[in-house]
Amino acid sequence: MKIFKFGGASVKDAEGVKNVATVLKTVGYENTLVIVSAMGKTTNAMELVVKNYFENKPELQSALQDVKKFHNQILLDLFDNERHPVFDKIKSLFSELDGFFKINKSPDYNFVYDQTIGFGELISTTIISYYLNDIGLKNNWLDVRSFIKTDSYYRRANVDWDATQDQISENFDRSILNITQGFLASDANNFTTTLGREGSDYSAAIFAYCLNATGVTIWKDVPGVLNADPRYFENAKLLNQISYREAIELAFYGASVIHPKTLQPLQRKEIPLYVKSFLNPKAPGTSVSKGKTLEPEIPCFIVKKNQVLISLSSLDFSYIVEENISEIFSLLHLYKMKVDVIQNSAISFSVCLENTYDNLEKLLQHLKAKFNVTYYKNVSLYTIRHFTEDAISSLEEDKAVLLKQLTQETVQIVTT
């Protein structure tokens, strides 16, 4: 059993959908499950829909209409006959979304987010499934929410592995090409949950684990795993083969090519991961598997934008000790902050974090009751694995460094 995952960039328009078919024909699609993300920037557009629902109701329908128009154009480019059943199917999905907004009574932003955002994946996979069937690639469309079960931690749900294994073992048909959604799941009450932003890679790993797949291939618009994001760094180099451990380290620090949770279930069953280009499907790309990294240990650069750096010091110049640190982390957990770097001295404590749930102001108010608080918004966190002095110097050039931390293999630098 093979698992293929196609991200939003690979299906951003009709030509992208056609290219998915080309990739499948080129590399083969027997005993294959294809997992697909929302098309292009649909997730961003759907986030605006959710924002308008809570903050700007008069603009809600306009934001929805933009999403509808975007997908309708892709439909018109793929299907000659507007009476094709796929048009009614997509219309029905949008009607379901409209109906949710009319009947919803929950004020919980995260709950509404998860019930809304997943329509991007439901629509994209429906379009792709119909198109592939039309051109002779017979397939079965699956609703992933019937297979991957989670708790109710909306927007970053935790997988219920036993329930998920049972659902996949009992209901998955291996005899046909299957198409399903990434990113989505459902809780015990069958409400939609999501696995975290960019969680489609994790979806692929979950299915691979439960199906004992022979491999997972993530199809990207880059040749494979690079030592730097070419959007931010020049002269990025391809890493031909890396170990699970190195891939997990890179993912943990924010390498965008692999979702942080993806490697863990694959490593447990030693299922190889391949990262390949959907523009050149026969190229070898990068393989991630058991064993030592075969690449020379060249510096790998990672950047996370829009971070928040908070620096705390005691009000009376007393030491910041275990009790204080425990309290700080309890608050970080309470306000659902994802911590990327911590650094402490005798009377100070600094943390660089992601304000995913927009709880920063609440956290700061809580902290100010017991600490002197300084904070910087919109900072950048740079990480270099296998750093050299030249690599650090080139990164720090023309930047104001707010925090710097070195370990044996990794340096992290926070800059304005």
Q: What is the pLDDT of residues 164-213, one digit of tens each?
A: 999 999 999 999 999 999 999 999 999 999 998 778 999 999 999 999 99
pLDDT number for residue 252? 84
- Structure confidence at residue 255 (pLDDT): 79
Instruction: Using DSSP, state whether 34 is helix, strand or coil.
Output: strand
Band of the pLDDT at 295, cuts 50, 70, 90? low
Q: Is-contact 149 161, C-beta < 8 A?
A: no
Pick the more confident residue, 235 or 278: 278
Residues 315-344: what's their mean pLDDT? 93
**How far apart (Å, rounded) are the C-alpha atoms in residues 164 and 178?**
17
pLDDT at 373: 96
pLDDT of residue 206: 98
Please, which pLDDT band fits residue 297 given cuts at 50, 70 and 90? confident
pLDDT in tens, 260-269: 689 999 999 9
Phi, psi of 279 (to 5 degrees): -85, -20
- Per the structure block, which two tokens stand in for 129? 């499934």
Q: Report yes or no: 266 and 205 within 8 Å, Cβ to Cβ.
A: yes
The model carries a pTM of 0.84
Q: What is the mean predicted confidence (pLDDT) over 379-401?
A: 95
Rounded to an integer, the average pLDDT of 24-49 is 97
pLDDT of residue 179: 98
The pLDDT of residue 223 is 93
Residue 160 has pLDDT above 60, yes or no: yes
Q: What is the pLDDT of residue 144?
A: 98
In this prediction, residue 261 carries a pLDDT of 86
Q: At 356, is the pLDDT very low, low, confident or very high (cuts 50, 70, 90)? A: confident
Greatest extent of the chain over all pairs of C-alpha atoms, in Å: 74
Q: Give per-residue pLDDT as tens, 53-79.
A: 999 999 999 999 999 999 999 999 999
Query: In the predicted model, what is the mean pLDDT of residues 286-305?
Result: 83
Residue pair 403/308 in contact by the 8 Å Cβ criterion: no
Report the candidate in 259, 289, 260, 295 with the shortest Cα–Cα distance to residue 274.
Answer: 289
Q: Domain coordinates of the chain in residue numbers? A: 2-220, 300-415
CATH class of 2-220: alpha beta
The percentage of the chain sitting over the pLDDT mark of 90, rounded to a whole number, equals 86
Distance of alpha carbon 257 from alpha carbon 252, whole angstroms: 11
Contact by Cβ (8 Å): 34, 25: no
Task: Work out the percent of the chain whose per-residue pLDDT is above 70.
Answer: 98
**Whole-number pLDDT of residue 293:** 61
* DSSP structure class, residue 358: S
The total of other beta-carbon atoms located within 10 Å of residue 194's CB is: 24
Residues 122-126 have a mean pLDDT of 98
Average pLDDT value over all residues in the chain: 94
User: What pLDDT was estimated at residue 254?
Assistant: 83
For residue 263, what is the enclosing H or E element?
A: helix 263-268
pLDDT of 362 strictly over 80: yes
Strand order from edge to edge, sheet including 286-289: 139-141, 177-181, 32-36, 2-6, 215-220, 273-277, 286-289, 241-243
Architecture of domain 300-415: 2-Layer Sandwich (3.30)
Question: pLDDT value at position 251?
Answer: 84
SS3 200: helix
List of residues 6+ apart from 225 with CB closer than 8 A: 238, 239, 242, 247, 250, 255, 257, 258, 275, 286, 288
CB of 329 closer than 8 Å to CB of 341: no
How sure is the predictor about 248, in pLDDT bands with cuts at 50, 70 and 90? Answer: confident
